[in-house]
C-alpha cells in the first residue's frame, strides 16, 4: 500500500519542523512519496490532472502543513478547490472513496492553547473538523493527526528528531489500516 504526503508550507526553508519532517520522510522513500506543493507550484498554477493521478495512485494520503490561523496555508486551499472537483472526488465521482487520510500539523502555540479551556478554546481535533468533513464527503476514512506544538520555541534538534521518528511510526500505523 502506498502513501502520499502532500506538504504545504510556504517557506519550508524557514520552518525547522516541516523541514525535518520532510527530510525524514524523503529518507524513507520505501514508505512514502513526498510531494511539496509550494516547491512544485511556486507560481500557483496547479496541474490538476497530475494531482488527481497522484491521489488515485496512492491508498493513503497525509496532508502536512503548519497551522495558519486555525487553518492551513493558502496554496493548500487552492489545491482543494481545483483538485477535488465534481465528478472526480464527489457528486458522481468516487476516485477517492475508501482511501485513508491523515494530517501532520506543526503548531506554534503550546498544546495547552488547544484545549477547551485554553486561549484558543478548541482542540486540534476540533479545529480540523472541516477537513474531516471533506474526507467524509468523498467517502474516505480519517485516520488521525500527528502534531507538534510550540514549534516557535524548539531549538533542540533531539526533540525534532524524536518527533520525526514519531511521525514515521504514525505513517506506519496508518498503513496498517
DSSP for 129-142 reads HHHHHHHHHTT-EE
Max CA-CA distance within the chain?
Answer: 49
C-alpha to C-alpha distance for 164 and 148, rounded to whole angstroms: 10
Predicted structure pTM score: 0.95
* Residue 15 confidence (pLDDT): 66
Count the Cβ atoms, other than its own, within 10 Å of residue 9. 26
C-alpha to C-alpha distance for 59 and 51, rounded to whole angstroms: 14
- Which residues in the chain land under pLDDT 50? none
The answer to whether the CB of 153 falls within 8 A of the CB of 110 is no
* Residue 1 confidence (pLDDT): 61
What is each CA distance from 109 to 77, 136, 152, 163, in whole angstroms? 22, 28, 8, 16
33: which strand partners?
Answer: 4
**Structure-block grid coordinates of residue 41:** 507550484
Query: Which H or E run includes 158?
Result: helix 157-174
C-alpha to C-alpha distance for 101 and 144, rounded to whole angstroms: 8
- Residue 91 CB burial class (10 angstroms; 0-12, 13-18, ≥19): exposed
Tell me which residue of 153, 156, 165 sits closest to 23, measured CA to CA.
165
* Residue 90 confidence (pLDDT): 85
Amino acid at each position: 500500500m502506498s502513501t502520499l504526503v502532500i506538504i504545504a508550507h510556504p517557506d519550508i526553508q524557514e520552518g525547522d519542523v516541516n523541514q525535518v519532517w520532510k527530510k525524514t520522510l524523503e529518507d524513507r522513500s520505501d514508505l512514502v512519496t513526498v510531494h511539496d506543493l509550494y516547491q512544485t507550484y511556486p507560481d500557483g498554477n496547479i496541474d490538476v490532472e497530475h494531482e488527481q493521478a497522484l491521489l488515485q495512485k496512492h491508498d493513503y494520503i497525509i496532508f502536512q502543513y503548519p497551522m495558519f490561523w486555525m487553518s492551513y496555508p493558502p496554496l493548500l486551499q487552492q489545491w482543494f478547490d481545483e483538485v477535488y472537483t465534481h465528478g472526480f472526488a464527489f457528486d458522481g465521482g468516487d476516485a477517492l472513496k475508501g482511501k485513508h487520510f491523515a494530517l501532520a500539523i506543526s503548531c506554534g502555540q503550546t498544546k495547552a492553547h488547544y484545549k477547551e479551556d485554553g486561549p484558543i478554546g478548541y482542540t486540534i481535533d476540533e479545529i480540523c473538523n472541516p477537513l474531516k468533513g471533506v474526507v467524509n464527503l468523498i467517502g474516505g476514512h480519517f485516520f488521525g493527526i500527528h502534531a507538534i506544538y510550540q514549534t516557535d520555541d524548539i531549538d533542540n534538534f533531539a526533540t525534532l528528531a524524536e518527533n520525526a521518528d514519531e511521525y514515521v511510526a504514525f505513517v506506519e500505523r496508518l498503513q496498517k489500516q
